[in-house]
Amino acid sequence: MSRRINFDSLTLASTVDSLQVLLNGSIQRISQPSEYDLVLTVYAARYGEARWLINCSTQWARTHLVTQRLPNPPQPPAFCMTLRKYIEGGTILSIAQRRFDRILDVTIRGHEGQVYLLTAELMGRHSNIILVSPDGFILQAAKLISSKVNRVREVLPGRDYLPPPDQGQPDPRGITADHFQTWLASAAPDDFPGWLRDSFEGISGILAGEIDSRSTQAQHSNIIAARWAAFESVFRAGREHTWRPVQVRDTAGTIIGAYPLPLQGVPATQQTLAPDIHTALEHYYSVAVPQAIFEQQQRSLLGALQKALSTQRHALRQVQQGVQERGRADQYRRWGELILTNLHQIQKGQDKAELLDYYADPPATITVALEPTQTPQQNAERLYQRARHVENNANRLKALQQQLGEQAEAITTLIAQVEQSADTAQLESLRTQATRQGWLHGTGATAEAGKSTAKSQAQQKPAFEGKRIRALTSPEGWQVLLGENAEANDYLVQRVSRPNDWWLHVRAGTGSHVVIPTQNNPQRVPTTTLMFAAQLAAANSRARHSSLVAVDYTLRKYVRRPRGGAPGFVTYTHEKTLDVIPLE
């Protein structure tokens, strides 16, 4: 067996049986260490002081006594405050399992003499802990559920307490031999464990499998009699109070659960008897919960780093493509020289010229595109400038290529370290390192986005006062804002952006203004996010069809709108340039 053993109805039955020692005990203190953990400190004459844990999380719902003290928040939640008001100082009158379901009912006489019901529904994602008044209405719950979430069963203060829907299945502990064997014979199921789960209340997968294992090992020639014997043997322990709790491990020795009875379907070498069910459960969950949290955090961090690595590699491929453009500089320079050599053949107004390329071997006639509004000399100078621009750009991109390559290598190393990490402390150290480098999604200005409720969002004014400003997210998680017309560009620069935000615009051309909000930390914005924003600016300009576009970027504080200037028209200083391929 390798899968985790969940807290099922048989485990709850065993736990409830052993909790009877707390009857008539006094609830001395109530604490709520976390959203889904409730701890009752009880003093009972038959036991002494006990710390009773009830957990209603989706994955780890359970109840048992604990020895470990759990840290409490500085301010108790509303649920905890309500419990303290009504039942702290009260006396436990009964502790019971509701039929054979995963529902715990605890009746408590409050300090004023009224009797309250504390019910714990330990049922996966529907798990909850609810305090019910003597009149049967809900006083408070760990999870409040409105009609928007569940139209059939609201769990809100003031509402009548309605139990979970009854599935109509019988309690297996009340079934007689005749009833069981007649029912089984008429059903003749091919899947005996499945039949058990479908026919009886509270039969979990692990319990159905155990009954099936016991039936195959029973010394009965009659299969129906063997199955009844196995079925009855499991529930006999509850009637006779002869539980034998065990801790169960997988073949690698990792603890995978605790159960109130030895499992015949699991090798004895993988099971260890525990002194009581509480010890077995506390030991298992003290290992399993931190391990599950660690594995979830590890998966999350690995996923974010893999995404960052993919982004770096994508940017690196684009930069490499730009570096390869350097070869075109020689071509532009050669065309310029051919124009100057053939000035007598070219007139202003031509859009192309057929020239003999004497650099070719053998020489051949080529077609050179011209700007009709320029003289031949100006066309040649334009090509020389383009050659210098391509060379300079290639040199800058070569430096960026090395930087991106080093970052990709660093992320690869960090991924290996995360895969080899052994605890959450190591993970947090690596996460901090990755965040500092700007490699994690959500480290930018959008990290706190999405926290508003639907109600508050509905009450907010239209985004950007209705101006046509697009909000995008870079692969690293940074928000990027783009104006879609002159009015939006002006509003973005004058009203939305802050002095230390990055501002980008295609050089010497018409196009959208692009802003990267930095929360006053422009140095934290990774180069790849700047590249992404530059590609957006290029794609939303008249140069969008060019193979390579120059985009200037500077801090917003160096951008100003001249007095009397048209909306969207600005001047700027302290700029740097990125040559990018427009984003598709």
Over residues 123-177, the pLDDT tens digits come to 999 999 999 999 999 999 999 999 888 888 999 999 999 999 888 899 999 999 9
The distance between the two most distant Cα atoms of the chain, rounded to a whole number of Å, is 115
563 contact partners, CB below 8 Å, separation of at least 6: none
Q: What is the DSSP string of 510-544?
A: -B--EEE--TT-GGGS-HHHHHHHHHHHHHTBTTT
Q: Was domain 9-141 assigned CATH 3.30.200.20?
A: no
Beta bridge partners, 389, equal none
Range 311-314 contact pairs with CB under 8 angstroms and sequence separation of 24 or more: 311/475, 311/476, 311/528, 312/404, 312/407, 312/408, 312/411, 312/528, 313/408, 314/475
Over residues 473-521, the pLDDT tens digits come to 887 788 999 999 988 999 999 999 999 999 999 998 889 999 999 999 9
Over residues 178-205, the pLDDT tens digits come to 999 999 998 888 899 999 999 999 999 9
CA end-to-end span of the chain: 51
User: Which residue, among 508, 445, 453, has the nearest Cα to 478 in the 3D structure?
Assistant: 445
As a whole number, the mean pLDDT across the chain is 89
Beta bridge partners, 44, equal 48
The two tokens of residue 471 are 């909000």
Distance CA 77, CA 451 (A): 20
456, burial (CB in 10 Å: exposed 0-12, middle 13-18, buried 19+): exposed
516 contact partners, CB below 8 Å, separation of at least 6: 444, 445, 474, 478, 479, 480, 481, 501, 502, 504, 525, 529, 530, 533
- To which residue do tokens 């598709």 refer? 584
- To which residue do tokens 């491929």 refer? 317
Q: What is the DSSP string of 74-115?
A: SS--HHHHHHHHHTTT-EEEEEEE-TTSSEEEEEEE-TTS-E
The two tokens of residue 366 are 């080529």
| Residue 347 CA from chain centroid, whole number | 65
Distance CA 300, CA 214 (A): 41
Over residues 240-287, the pLDDT tens digits come to 999 999 999 999 999 999 999 999 989 999 999 999 999 999 999 999
Residue 336 in contact with residue 387, Cβ under 8 Å?
A: yes
Distance CA 384, CA 337 (A): 9
On the question of pLDDT at 456 being above 50, the answer is no
Distance CA 431, CA 417 (A): 11
Q: Is the peptide bond before 462 cis (omega within 30 degrees of 0)?
A: no
The two tokens of residue 531 are 């590249």
Q: Band of the pLDDT at 93, cuts 50, 70, 90? A: very high
Strand, helix or coil for residue 280 = helix
How confident is the model at residue 217, as a pLDDT?
A: 82
> Any idea where the domains of the chain sit in the sequence?
9-141, 174-280, 309-436, 460-580
Across 112-214, where does the E strand assignment appear? Answer: 115-121, 128-132, 138-141
Distance CA 535, CA 550 (A): 10
Q: Band of the pLDDT at 2, cuts 50, 70, 90? A: low
How confident is the model at residue 459, as a pLDDT?
A: 38
76, burial (CB in 10 Å: exposed 0-12, middle 13-18, buried 19+): middle
Strand, helix or coil for residue 246 = strand
The sign of the dihedral angle between the CA atoms of 465, 467, 468, 470 is negative
How confident is the model at residue 191, as a pLDDT?
A: 93
Query: How many residues are listed for the chain in this entry?
Result: 584
**Other beta carbons within 10 Å of 196:** 22
How confident is the model at residue 389, as a pLDDT?
A: 81
Distance CA 430, CA 294 (A): 13
Over residues 298-322, the pLDDT tens digits come to 999 999 999 889 888 888 887 787 7
Give the rounded percent of residues in the chain with a pLDDT score beyond 70. Answer: 95
Distance CA 547, CA 322 (A): 9
> Mean pLDDT over residues 117-127, rounded?
95
Instruction: Indicate the residue type of 286.
Output: S
* Axis crossing angle, helix 223-240 with helix 177-187, rounded to the nearest 10: 140
On the question of pLDDT at 380 being above 80, the answer is yes
Strand, helix or coil for residue 294 = helix
User: Which residue, among 433, 403, 414, has the nearest Cα to 306 in the 3D structure?
Assistant: 414
pTM exceeds cut of 0.75 = no
Q: What is the DSSP letter of 38?
A: E
How confident is the model at residue 444, as a pLDDT?
A: 37
Instruction: Indicate the residue type of 500.
Output: N
